[in-house]
Copies of this chain bind each other. A is one copy, B any other.
Amino acid sequence: MSHQALKIVTIGGGSSYTPELIEGYIKRQAQLAIKEIWLVDIPEGEQKLNVVGAMAKRMVKAAGLDWEVHLTLDRRAALKDADFVSTQFRVGLLEARVKDERIPGSYGLLGQETNGAGGIFKALRTIPVILDIVKDMKELCPNAWLINFTNPSGIITEAIQHYGQWNKVIGLCNVPVMAMINEPALINKELKDLTYKFAGIDHFHWHRVWDNTGKEVTMDIINQIYADKNNGLPKNIFDISFFREQLEQMKMIPCGYHRYYYRQTEMLEHSLEEFKNNATRAQEVMRIEHELFTLYQDPHLDYKPKQLAERGGAHYSDAACEAIASIYADKKTHMVVSTLNKGAIPDLPSDHTVEVSAQIGATGAIPMTFGHFQPAERGWIQLMKNMELVITQAAVTGDYGTALQAFIINPLIPSGRHAKNLLDEMLVANKRYLPQFAEKITELEQQGVTVHDQVAAAIDNQIGVL
């Protein structure tokens, strides 16, 4: 980047993650010539924005920095001449996540915000908004980089690149970060002495690892994971072991989210247990968020509180800071990001988004080649990538048949009338955030489709209460 006075914008700035982001910038102050940080949010998030924004200002001040921290509801003012734009917003707030988790649960199906029916709906809500942001960026800051960590991160990045035709984007996820933090210790190594090769798509990738003598240590790590249960799973993933015989066959380490696909029965049982106990992750997060914002209101708190670690997205924001610093300072860092495939995985089209090991520098991400997968993994990844394409197409077109295809192809939703009823109910439940499906939703409402789960049905009235 040529600017010596960086303007960094965060959309969804009122998020509870913001302190980690600010901490990340402070930690990298020598690498980043920051002048302005803009935290943007929507009117419904104004209160949180003010709380977390005030804390951000305290953190910057405590670090002895003269960075300007701007809080605003005016996205276009924030985007004007920005150098980096990071996106961490949640369309529909946590209330929408409650629905993503509870409505499928009420059908006896997995309720989860990036997998199954919930993940599809999170994408349907988010894609129109991100494409609108991209449209603004083309006008207001055409040279900026977009660092997306709004979930489902890979699908959102796909939409940005394919439909938004915007390639200056890096999609982030904390899952690879956590693997690289936790695994080296399992085999008494340091990360710097290992070579990691990740390949797949967001929340559905595998990796292999080698030590600095060139010896592959993937199986050593796997063996230690079975021996040591402290396996670095994200907080939101129930801990159930992979079948060892499966890992021995594939000779790769799946990501935590693979549990939903490789141990479908157990993950579903666990999800339904949470549903029954009114303890879905969204409900849990609401409680944590409440605590966090209570903390953030303390006018003496000027550092990231340790309680944030419980929130589940640890390292996400730090990864965003690292990506920004790597681009700005041309650091040529190894990171695992969502970016155009370009051949890194020859089993997938070269002009769509994948999540792979890449070198991050001034030109953005240069993916490292991974080569062909074996049949089982190839089948999975081709299915999942195409499902992403169906979802993005549904999100952009608002076509009901395409949304139905997404439900049918999703491996976590058994197809049939049950699935179709679920689709219909979720469309109605998400009415406010799915303008592209407005006509179909009206038709469904006229047919009497309503939300049956009481918690989900009630939640729209509680927005702002939380």
Query: Which positions in A face B, CB cutoff 8 Å?
Result: 1-2, 193, 195, 197, 210-215, 243, 245-246, 248-250, 261-268, 327, 329-330, 332, 334, 340-346, 350, 359, 361-364, 366-372, 375-376, 378-380, 382-387, 389-390, 393, 399-402, 404-406, 408-409, 411, 414-420
Verify A368–B371 contact, CB threshold 8 A.
no
Verify B366–A250 contact, CB threshold 8 A.
no
Expressed in whole angstroms, the Cα–Cα distance for A332 and B371 within the complex equals 19
Instruction: With A263-B416, A375-B393, A383-B382 as known contacts, state yes or no: A246 contacts B362, CB within 8 Å.
Output: no
Verify B389–A375 contact, CB threshold 8 A.
yes
Q: Which chain B residues lie closer than 8 Å to A250 at the CB level?
A: 405
Instruction: With A214-B1, A265-B417, A368-B366 as known contacts, state yes or no: A380 contacts B361, CB within 8 Å.
Output: no
Instruction: With A263-B415, A266-B417, A401-B248 as known contacts, state yes or no: A371 contacts B383, CB within 8 Å.
Output: no
Q: Which chain B residues lie closer than 8 Å to A329 at the CB level?
A: 212
From A440, which residue of chain B is reached at the shortest CB distance?
B245
28 contacts between A and B (CB under 8 A): A1-B213, A195-B362, A210-B363, A211-B362, A212-B362, A214-B327, A246-B404, A249-B401, A264-B414, A266-B416, A266-B417, A343-B350, A343-B369, A343-B370, A343-B371, A344-B369, A359-B368, A369-B369, A375-B390, A376-B405, A376-B406, A378-B382, A378-B386, A379-B382, A379-B385, A379-B387, A382-B382, A382-B386
Q: Which chain B residues lie closer than 8 Å to A340 at the CB level?
A: 371
Expressed in whole angstroms, the Cα–Cα distance for A134 and B450 within the complex equals 52
Give 7 A-B pairs besides A249-B399, A350-B371 with Cβ atoms closer than 8 angstroms: A246-B401, A250-B405, A264-B415, A342-B369, A366-B368, A369-B369, A380-B383
Nearest-neighbour CB distance to chain B for A197, whole angstroms, equals: 7
* Copies of the protein in its oligomer: 4
Expressed in whole angstroms, the Cα–Cα distance for A295 and B13 within the complex equals 71
Verify A249–B362 contact, CB threshold 8 A.
no
Verify A212–B330 contact, CB threshold 8 A.
yes
Most buried by B among A1, A329, A409: A409
